[in-house]
Amino acid sequence: MTETLVNLSTPGQLLARTARSYESLLRATGHGTTIPGHAMRTLEMQINVFKDYYTTDTSEPLFRFDSGAFDTRLWNGSRWFRRAGRPSAAIPGTSNHGKGRAVDFQGLGGFDTDEYNTFAREATKRGWDNAEGKRVGEWWHWNHNPDTDTFDYEEDELMAAKDEIAAEVIKQLKGQAGKVTLTWATRRSIAAAQGKKIDDIPTEMALDDVLSYAARATFDNAALAIEVETLKAKVDKLAAGIKVDVTVDETAIARKVVAELAEKLK
């Protein structure tokens, strides 16, 4: 199967299956690229990286392994030495970055950090590994293998779409009223989710907090009973600048989001 390069939501490109996995991993962890060179690299980009990290001038400060040996590469008929303070780089034309399957993920902080360990759990679920990076001391360098990637991306993308629509609902309503009065059903649902008593849940809450909770927590509630038209009418009125009662019930919000999602996915 021939794959095309896909633009990422962050700087850079990757082959299609790896790009899909990348976007899922980015949503799950918040770690991704900050410059195009962190993902797919053209030969020209890799040459520039290589020349920045390695030199043929042995009078420069050079990197040494703990054994005292230099890190060298043979390229274009010359021996190149890794500069002091620079990470490793593949010989141009041999890098996995050039294959559209490798990413240098930013913000992991090191091999022994909570960020790295949390990221690694999510990454391995999606067919990524840091084996090559570990060999050269790079916690940021990860390769993706589509053949070992068995993650359920359809479900993941469905939830992402739900979150996106939920955010749009929040955007439509946010700022039109400061706080809203919670129905008893909403308070009961929030209390159950948080392991609290109903009396511990305030009777008023910021509107976007209520919508965020309702839209994300009740999508699959089979007991949804309130028709979406109630909320839709309020949204339409608010959009027209008409003041309305903004008492919120989470089932109405959930119905609205599910309806929008079904329309979007047709």
Residues 63, 61: Cα–Cα separation, whole Å: 7
The count of other CB atoms within 10 Å of the CB of residue 40 is: 24
Q: What is the mean pLDDT of residues 86-102?
A: 90
How high is the mean pLDDT of the chain?
A: 79
Cα 62-67-73 angle, rounded to 5 deg = 50
Q: Is the pLDDT of residue 19 over 80?
A: yes
Looking up tokens 């410059």, which residue turns up? 35
Percent of the chain with pLDDT over 90: 49
pLDDT band for position 171 (cuts 50, 70, 90) = low
Do the beta carbons of residue 83 and residue 89 sit within 8 Å? no
Residues 187, 254: Cα–Cα separation, whole Å: 15
**Could you give all domains of the chain from N- to C-terminal order, each with its CATH number?**
5-148 (3.30.1380.10), 153-264 (no CATH)
pTM over 0.85: no
The amino acid occupying position 193 is: A
Do the beta carbons of residue 132 and residue 96 sit within 8 Å? yes
The count of other CB atoms within 10 Å of the CB of residue 122 is: 17
Give residue 156's pLDDT. 81
Do the beta carbons of residue 34 and residue 11 sit within 8 Å? yes
Residues 185, 223: Cα–Cα separation, whole Å: 12
Residues 70, 184: Cα–Cα separation, whole Å: 70
The amino acid occupying position 249 is: D
Of 255, 266, 256, the C-alpha closest to 235 is 256
Q: Which segments of the chain are extended strands (E)?
A: 5-7, 13-15, 54-55, 72-75, 78-82, 102-104, 128-129, 141-144, 179-181, 204-206
Max CA separation in the chain (angstroms): 77
